[in-house]
Amino acid sequence: MVSLSQVPTPRAASDRAVAEDLDRSDQLAVYRERFVSPDPTLVYLDGNSLGRLPVTTAQRVAEAVTEQWGSGLIRSWEQWIDMAQSIGDEIAAGVLEADPGEVVLSDSTTVNLYKLAAAALDARPDRHVLLTDDDNFPTDSYVFQGLTAARGLELRVIETDLDAGLSTEAVQAAMDEDVALASFSHVAYRSGAIADMVAITGIAHDSGALTLWDLSHSGGSIPVPLRSAGADLAVGCTYKYLCGGPGAPAYLYVRKDRQGELRQPIWGWFGQQDQFAMTGQYDAAPGLARFLVGTPPVLSMIGVREGVAIVAEAGIGALRTKGQALTSYLIDLADEWLTPLGFRLASPRDVERRGSHVTLHHPQAWQICRALIERYDVVPDFRAPDRLRLGPAPLTTSYADVWEGLDRLRRLVESGVHESYPAQRSRVT
Ligand SMILES: *Cc1c(COP(=O)(O)O)cnc(C)c1O
């Protein structure tokens, strides 16, 4: 017979040893060493806003500066001229579900939204509606407001629940044959809710509309089923989960069979057929190159290549599995520790509907966010109107980080120290 004293007490989820066990069996744990992390006490829960710096990036950029630029000078363009396409192919193969020749690095996400949305509207001249939702990222909405205002078109905006995210039924209800283009975020920047790309693209196509997806919060963290969905167009950011560095160029995707049919509005020499013939007349390049504009930021592209290589090596499947486990663990801790302190989960509870970040609602989220950064060395971010966004990027975050971050958050709110912070927001949140 086993005496009672020999029976191990069951551990609560909030026992730190649970996090340590999860870290020991985490196959992606080794990737943490591939990133610079000079401050061991920092808990970084913002890899979904600015990914960490890969160890190799500083060296690769330094080599490009001293050797390619410093010594090679203009001769180095031989190496640089096709980088936007080759890194695009690396993103297509390792990050998205797309074919070679469908993805290219170019400009910023915002500029690419403008280029591709304009191209889509031009391709459906008999239709007058651009469909989006009110939970889309602000820059997407602004671009669409500008485009529809300039063209006298209607911007139709679906009302979306801030926590639950875009529903397929709402898209179905708003869709009709006036819609030229439907554009949404794949993962909502605030709640992390995943939109059903396959179903929504199908609904748009059934009524003859084109689709433009913003992948900024999904690319590098969850599978992006562009091919299964038959998605027409997409844009995405490289400085978040792809760890390309601040302001690194974005990528755009155009489905192969749409490339010849679409024309974007900024006719620059990188989109010109036979660019160096320097002819007087614009003649769009036949394939994806027609969506390029001007000279790309070479040094920044080098950072994108390093980040994308690590993401591809870790594998989107493994990153998705860990992202689900990390966010579920985070929610378990929040339920136990933070709900009693006035927090409420503002992300989908269903793991299949949730991307790789978790948002918590609290009326004093702004003050808590400031106090957490300044006094407790935990970096989340604040998202309006009253939410704390926690992004445990699966490539660079441990379970112990999540435990530590939430423990500090709990202690902070218990202490009430955030009450002394001004409610007035600063310029960058
Ligand atoms: C981060 C982000 C952007 C950023 O656009 P920039 O042009 O790089 O400033 C756009 N859309 C979404 C959904 C984002 O999350």
Q: Is 86 in the pocket of ligand 1 (CB under 6 A)?
A: no
Q: Is 251 in the pocket of ligand 1 (CB under 6 A)?
A: no
Of all residues in the chain, what percent are helix, strand and coil, respectively (each to 5)?
45, 15, 40
Distance CA 34, CA 31 (A): 5
Active site residue 34: no
Distance CA 361, CA 343 (A): 6
The conformation of residue 234, written as its DSSP 8-state character, comes to E
- 425-215-250 Cα angle (round to 5): 80
Distance CA 326, CA 351 (A): 11
Average pLDDT over residues 333-356: 98
What pLDDT, on the 0 to 100 scale, is given for residue 412?
A: 97
Distance CA 145, CA 139 (A): 10
Q: Residues with Cβ < 8 Å from 253, sequence gap 6 or more?
A: 92, 96, 98, 102, 103, 215, 226, 231, 233, 234, 235, 236
Q: Is 56 in the pocket of ligand 1 (CB under 6 A)?
A: no
35, β-bridge pairs: 54
Helix (H, G, I), strand (E, B) or coil at 340: helix
Owner of token pair 């400009």: 107
Q: Is 85 in the pocket of ligand 1 (CB under 6 A)?
A: no
Number of Cβ within 10 Å of residue 9's Cβ equals: 6
- 312-313-318 Cα angle (round to 5): 85
Q: Is 189 in the pocket of ligand 1 (CB under 6 A)?
A: yes
pLDDT in tens, 287-344: 999 999 999 999 999 999 999 999 999 999 999 999 999 999 999 999 999 999 999 9
Q: Where are the chain's structural domains?
A: 4-34+315-420, 57-312
Owner of token pair 């920047």: 189
Letter for the amino acid at 337?
A: W
Active site residue 214: yes
Q: Is 76 in the pocket of ligand 1 (CB under 6 A)?
A: no
CA of 277 to the centre of ligand 1 (A): 35
Question: Ligand 1 test: best mutation among 111, 135, 137, most atoms within 8 Å of CB?
Answer: 137
The conformation of residue 238, written as its DSSP 8-state character, comes to S
Question: Ligand 1 test: best mutation among 107, 160, 237, 240, most atoms within 8 Å of CB?
Answer: 237
Buried b / exposed e across 351-366, counting CB within 10 Å, b at 16+? eebbbbbbbbbbebbb
pLDDT band at 8 (very low <50, low <70, confident <90, very high): low
Distance CA 294, CA 182 (A): 27
Active site residue 239: yes
Retrieve residue 396's tokens. Answer: 């660079």
This prediction's pTM: 0.96
Counting atoms of ligand 1 from 1, which one is nearest the CA of 140? 11
Helix (H, G, I), strand (E, B) or coil at 35: strand
CA of 139 to the centre of ligand 1 (A): 7
Pinpoint the alpha helices (H) of 75-137: 77-80, 83-94, 109-123
pLDDT in tens, 262-289: 999 999 999 999 999 998 999 999 999 9
What pLDDT, on the 0 to 100 scale, is given for residue 10?
A: 67
pLDDT in tens, 168-193: 999 999 999 999 999 999 999 999 99
Q: Is 133 in the pocket of ligand 1 (CB under 6 A)?
A: no
Active site residue 35: no
Q: Is 140 in the pocket of ligand 1 (CB under 6 A)?
A: yes
Distance CA 107, CA 96 (A): 19
Distance CA 149, CA 399 (A): 47
Counting atoms of ligand 1 from 1, which one is nearest the CA of 214? 13
Residue 127 to residues 182, 203, 216, 257, 263: CA-CA distances in angstroms?
12, 16, 28, 21, 17
Helix (H, G, I), strand (E, B) or coil at 323: helix
pLDDT in tens, 247-261: 999 999 999 999 999
Half-sphere exposure of 163 (CA within 13 A, CB side): 13
Q: Is 185 in the pocket of ligand 1 (CB under 6 A)?
A: yes
Distance CA 187, CA 224 (A): 10
233, β-bridge pairs: 212, 254
pLDDT in tens, 113-167: 999 999 999 999 999 999 999 999 999 999 999 999 999 999 999 999 999 999 9
Of 44, 114, 184, 239, the catalytic one is 239
Q: Is 217 in the pocket of ligand 1 (CB under 6 A)?
A: yes
Active site residue 44: no
Which residue's CA is minimally distant from atom 14 of ligand 1?
A: 216
Distance CA 88, CA 238 (A): 11
Q: Place domain 4-34+315-420 in its CATH homologous superfamily.
A: Aspartate Aminotransferase, domain 1 (3.90.1150.10)
pLDDT in tens, 47-85: 999 999 999 999 999 999 999 999 999 999 999 999 999
Distance CA 72, CA 77 (A): 9
pLDDT band at 1 (very low <50, low <70, confident <90, very high): very low
What pLDDT, on the 0 to 100 scale, is given for residue 7?
A: 61
CB of 421 closer than 8 Å to CB of 370: yes
Indicate whether 2 pLDDT > 90.
Answer: no
Q: Is the peptide bond before 10 cis (omega within 30 degrees of 0)?
A: no
CA of 177 to the centre of ligand 1 (A): 29
What pLDDT, on the 0 to 100 scale, is given for residue 11?
A: 76
Instruction: Please name the fold of domain 57-312.
Output: Aspartate Aminotransferase; domain 2 (3.40.640)
Of 26, 133, 140, 214, the catalytic one is 214
